[in-house]
Amino acid sequence: MKLKKIKSKAGIVDGCDGYLIDADEKVARAIVASLKDKKFGGVVAVLGRSGGFNRRVVESLKIDCLVSPESGDRKDSLKQRDSGLNHVVAKAAKAKGIEVVIDFDSLVEMKGKEKALGLARIMQNVKICRRAKCGIKIWGSVDEKALRSFGFSVGMSSVEVRKAVAAEIL
Exposure string of 127-162, with b = 16+ CB inside 10 Å and e = fewer, is: bbbeebebbbbbbbeeeeeebbebbeebebeeebbe
The predicted-structure confidence for 9-47, as pLDDT tens digits, reads as follows 888 888 888 999 999 999 999 999 999 888 888 899 999
What does the alpha-carbon distance between residue 83 and residue 130 come to, in Å, rounded to a whole number?
15
Residue 145 binned pLDDT confidence (cut-offs 50, 70, 90):
very high
Domains of the chain: 52-164 (3.20.20.140)
Is 122 strand, coil or helix? helix
The residue type found at 137 is K
Residue 169 binned pLDDT confidence (cut-offs 50, 70, 90):
low
Is 138 strand, coil or helix? strand
What does the alpha-carbon distance between residue 3 and residue 56 come to, in Å, rounded to a whole number?
22
pLDDT at 116: 92
Burial class (CB in 10 A: 0-12, 13-18, 19+), 70: buried
End-to-end C-alpha distance for the chain, whole angstroms: 10
Give the predicted TM-score (pTM) of the model: 0.89
pLDDT at 168: 55
pLDDT at 38: 85
The predicted-structure confidence for 67-121, as pLDDT tens digits, reads as follows 999 987 788 888 778 898 999 999 999 999 999 999 999 999 999 999 999 999 9
